[in-house]
Amino acid sequence: MSTKYFMGVDEAGYGPNLGPLVVAASLWKAPEDCSEQQFSHALAKHFSTAHWSPSCQHVPLGDSKKLYATRCGLATLEAGLLALQFPLAPACASLGHFAQRVIRPEWMDELNALDWYAGYAAEPIPSVLELTEVLRLSRLAQSKLAPVGIELIDLKAAVVCEPHFNRAVAKSGSKGELLSRTTLELVAQLLKQCPASAEVFCDRQGGRKNYLPNLLAAMPDEWFGELQVGPARSSYQSCGARPLTIHFSVGGDSFPPTALASMLAKYLRERLMRPLNAFWQGHLPRLRSTAGYPVDAQRFRAAIEPVAERLQLSIDQWWRCK
């Protein structure tokens, strides 16, 4: 059967001043004649944003903002993400093994070098659910995907830690440029696995509508032209030998491949924020944890700044400039 590839890309941590920016992508294959609408319809009945419960007969899949809240914990996010990725990496028993599987190698060195992320690698996977529940949901997912010829074939992420973030923003003058470049580099890397027609779906970033210059810079071997640029979606098509279309959409994280990318990005960021908080709380036991977003990040910064000075950590190592 001829194949078509679908890729979804999304981020977590674009707004915070603390913690990493994570950009993630999920790559799927489907029958050649499968459209965006048919893909969504094929998954609609058994994959949803409904929260996980021990007896649920659906696999959680959707925008991570609908699946995760601090008060509810990681269970729903973990249920959907780990169930879908299990066939790709069934032996991941720790966050370190999982990170090695999904994070691009070029991002691992800086992550592993920063003291406030130390210890993440030994954290268990899964962290909330029992492995038997992940297996149950994985079997459920495969039983619904296989009959319609849809298969998840890869998950990858870029984890942009604070020092790299600050260097890149200082160079370009814009964190939007950093996000666009990181997104399209990830897309270009995963497209190497796509010998046939591919369609890529990205969540539109901020108010930007024109992505053609970024596409041409990131993939100079492709010949992109505009298909449409509108309020809801900007679409581009390559005129190369392999059919390739890339969309940037408002609310694009509702499409299943983009939704799973959103889930991976959010899961990695939340798991990495735990050792970050624990590191500073080791020096300040009464310090309240932070999610890193601007208002609360200022409280956290005021508390840890004297400690950072004692540890001879410059602010650009642990505080994101934008």
Residues 6+ apart with CB under 8 A from 54: 133
- Residue appearing with tokens 């992109």: 224
Residue 1 pLDDT level (bands cut at 50, 70, 90): low
Q: How far apart are CA 279 and CA 303, in angstroms?
A: 13
What are the residue ranges spanned by the domains of the chain? 3-274
Q: How far apart are CA 302 and CA 197, in angstroms?
A: 51
CATH class as words, domain 3-274? alpha beta
Residue 117 pLDDT level (bands cut at 50, 70, 90): very high
pLDDT tens digit sequence for 159-170: 999 999 999 999
Nearest partner of 7 among 187, 144, 145, judged by Cα: 187
pLDDT tens digit sequence for 127-150: 999 999 999 999 999 999 999 999
Prediction pTM value: 0.96
Contact 235, 228 (CB under 8 A): yes
